[in-house]
Amino acid sequence: MGQVRMKDLMNIVRSASGIMLSGSPPQIARKRSFTDYTTSADIAVEDQIKRELMTLYPSSLVIAEESSLDNYGCDWSGSAFILDPIDGTINYFHHMGISAISLAYMEEGELLHGLIYDPYRNEMFNATRNEGAFLNGNPIRVSSVRELKNGLAGFGTSPYSKEKGLEMLHTASKVYVNCQDLRRLGAAAVDLAYVACGRLDVFFEKDLKPWDFYAGILIISEAGGRTTDWKGSPVEGLHRQDILAGNNDLHEAMLDLLNE
């Protein structure tokens, strides 16, 4: 297999994002519940990106949200792309303009490339291991806020489970009284990108899937931040996980708060 190049990944993602911006009304293609559905655009974006990835890198596995729902937790080795064609599908369906494409590349379990592209703002967040993190070619860093009381916290509500969502709202209320304010964007990949560039100081959500967070983990790491589960353990494997991300100081403060 040829060496994976970030430039190729960027071009593939930018091209596919045109489907999101086409102006065609979103159509529900598959519905698992009233909060969990797939649009025709999710499928079209995923199909185009997978097709182009497999043309350039035919020996790599593509683990993608719409086509890997039943087997993403399986064991695997070798090289793999992890793709969320539209993170923030509910936002997309409601024309909110807060959605992104998330793509990560791993070899033998090690993250090597990650990118998150917001086509509405033409913002490309990307990182390659040991080469730093960037937004549209400019270096980015996590925030320098050192106390949670001065921090802006992003969170998600685990919308596919109302029970877990209610638990998240309870947790968010604890965070709210200890931070400057909260934001709930509805697209975890965007939240993680915003942590990497300092727009958010921390982000937390339960029960995220691997295509929601792996690109963001690398971008945040290369931007000087930290991502773990809610116990402070490294994020590993292809399964649902509780995610906490932030700069190092606020990450520690959040761990204490979440585990009170």
pLDDT in tens, 140-186: 999 999 999 999 999 999 777 777 889 899 999 999 999 999 999 99
Q: Domain boundary residue among 117, 138, 159?
A: 138
Q: Please state, as a whole number, how many other Cβ atoms lie within 10 Å of the Cβ of residue 175.
A: 19
**Structural domain includes residue 143:** no
What percent of the chain lies above the pLDDT cut of 90? 73
My answer on whether 205 and 132 are in the same domain is: no
The per-residue pLDDT for range 25-79, each reduced to its tens digit, is 776 655 555 556 578 889 999 999 999 999 999 988 999 877 654 445 555 567 8
My answer on whether 118 and 165 are in the same domain is: no
Q: Are 215 and 83 in contact (CB under 8 A)?
A: no
**What predicted TM-score, i.e. pTM, was given to this entire model?**
0.93
Alpha helices in 57-187 (DSSP H): 89-93, 162-176
Give 84's DSSP letter.
Answer: E
What range defines the domain where residue 129 resides?
6-138
My answer on whether 190 and 238 are in the same domain is: yes
Query: CA–CA separation, 227 vs 204, rounded Å?
Result: 10
Reported as a pLDDT band with limits 50, 70 and 90, residue 1 is very low
Query: CA–CA separation, 208 vs 226, rounded Å?
Result: 17
**Which phi and psi (to 5°) does residue 36 adopt?**
-130, 100
* Model pLDDT, residue 70: 46
My answer on whether 185 and 249 are in the same domain is: yes
**Taking the alpha carbons of 96, 235, 161, 71 in that order, is the dihedral positive or negative?**
positive
Q: Domain boundary residue among 90, 107, 138?
A: 138
My answer on whether 158 and 187 are in the same domain is: yes
My answer on whether 11 and 132 are in the same domain is: yes
My answer on whether 182 and 117 are in the same domain is: no
Q: What is the mean pLDDT of residues 76-100?
A: 90
Q: What is the mean pLDDT of residues 118-125?
A: 98
Q: Are 187 and 210 in contact (CB under 8 A)?
A: no
Region of 97 (left: φ > 0; alpha: ψ -120 to 50; beta: rest) is left
* Model pLDDT, residue 36: 61
Q: Report the candidate in 112, 101, 79 with the shortest Cα–Cα distance to residue 11.
A: 101
